[in-house]
Amino acid sequence: MHITNGMNKPITCDIFCAVIDNFGDIGVCWRLAKQLVHEHDMTVRLWVDDLLSFRRLHPAISPDMQIQHCLGVEIRHWNSTFLELPFPKIEPAQLVIEAFACELPECYVAAIVGQEYKPIWVNLEYLSAEEWVAGCHCLPSPNPSLPITKYFFFPGFTLQTGGLLLERDLIARRDAFQSELHTQAAFWRALDVPLPKPDEVRVSLFCYENIALPELFSIWAKANIPMLCLVPEDCVLPQVAAFFGRELVVAGDTLQHGNLEVRVLPFIAQERYDELLWACDLNFVRGEDSCVRAQWAGKPFVWHIYPQQDKVHIKKLSAFMDLYCSGLQPDATQALYSLWQGWNIEHNGGQAASTSLKTAWDDYWEHIALLQRHAREWSQHLSGNSLVLNLLNFVQKIDRIGSLECKLDLR
């Protein structure tokens, strides 16, 4: 057998991550590395080109160390542009994951080719709900000049795709947290945030710069219920400061306007961010990693999709909304569509929304109980499709095929 440990499962893995979107790329790779180590007893090296961004997610990371170990994962610093230190001469792992087409070092690819039993090389693609993804998932890509094949592995929301990252105990931990008031109280105290008022709405806000933000803040300030908005450090703080007439806001600041209170939180490590999503009534999220975690939270959420050229992201947003709203009542679906489209308006060519953001918010909040139930049901619907299990099953399948071909060659 080519790469296995007697159980038809790889035991070593190299994950390569070039940080592009500050936290999304490394967020996904770090979760994947930990899950392979802790749930599948694999030996994982995580190669990262930006340790400073990594450190924000996991404060134990040292940005100055070329090699370090955290939570059972070996962390290696590498320069994805190949302009500084040469890539070390190492033996490739049995499973090689190239995250988001980051391009492996040439010498590492040469080392793969030189192996008697070739590692299985997987390109972990970006998440999309578009229909074409299912047709490309797991497709091989033979190298035009080298005797090696790379496989495309697409995360997704249907059984025809690779699924989503989901730790084995995440849903159980979420349910325990959301059912235990003392655990929630301890969480708020650790953030130095008062306990919720009986009629208060708590919102977490993690987004890109957004021209709709001042209008949304104005709507919340005029709401007939208290609105507490929790904004992590480094997230649209200049816009927050401008709304409140301040030159600068920093972690620890509390700002008040009408019924809106904004609290600026220190940047939250990855392990605590899940708890913030679990504890809030509504979560505004951005990119890929926080969007997936918001879905596991089982709470209503609003997605600020990462902008791409030629408005490709708008198609991705619509494709996801179509999937997410399947089975949802038409009026609630329309309310969700209106708010999400209004929140992403700056990425839609500046075109005017079909309804005002005020109307969109009012309609959305009118359906919040139904949207809450739907978010919980959606989380349950997705939970049977684990990316890591699907990935390892795929690797085992490819390895069995390779083993058979090797035996045929020997005959």
Task: Tell me the pLDDT tens digit for each residue of 125-141.
Answer: 999 999 999 999 999 99
Structure confidence at residue 7 as a pLDDT band (50, 70, 90)? very low
Domain-wise residue ranges, the chain: 12-165+385-410, 170-382
Burial class (CB in 10 A: 0-12, 13-18, 19+), 40: middle
Range in 34-38, 226-230, 267-271 the model is least confident about: 267-271
pLDDT of residue 349: 44
Whether 82 has a pLDDT exceeding 80, the answer reads no
Name the phi and psi angles at 335, rounded to 5: -65, -40
Domain 170-382 in this protein, CATH class: alpha beta
SS (H, E, C) 266-300: CCCCHHHHHHHHHHCCEEEEECCHHHHHHHHHCCC
The pLDDT, as a whole number, for residue 20 is 78
Query: Averaged over 20-27, what is the pLDDT?
Result: 80
Q: Where are the alpha helices (DSSP H) in 58-116?
A: 106-114
- Tell me the mean pLDDT in the region 89-103: 93
Q: Which of 67-81, 248-262, 391-405 has the highest mean pLDDT?
A: 248-262
Query: What are the CA-CA distances from residue 148 to residues 45, 113, 118, 400 (Å)?
Result: 21, 7, 8, 16
Question: 41-78, pLDDT tens digit by residue?
Answer: 999 999 999 999 899 889 999 999 999 999 999 999 98
Average of per-residue pLDDT values in the chain = 90
Phi/psi at 398 (5° precision): -65, -40
pLDDT bucket at 407, cuts 50 / 70 / 90: very low
Cβ(211)–Cβ(304) below 8 Å: no
So which residues are the catalytic ones?
25, 288
How far apart CA 293 and CA 30 sit, in angstroms, is 14
Is 203 strand, coil or helix? strand
- Which of 126, 129, 124 lies closest to 317, judged by CA? 129
| Per-residue confidence (pLDDT) for residue 8, from 0 to 100 | 60
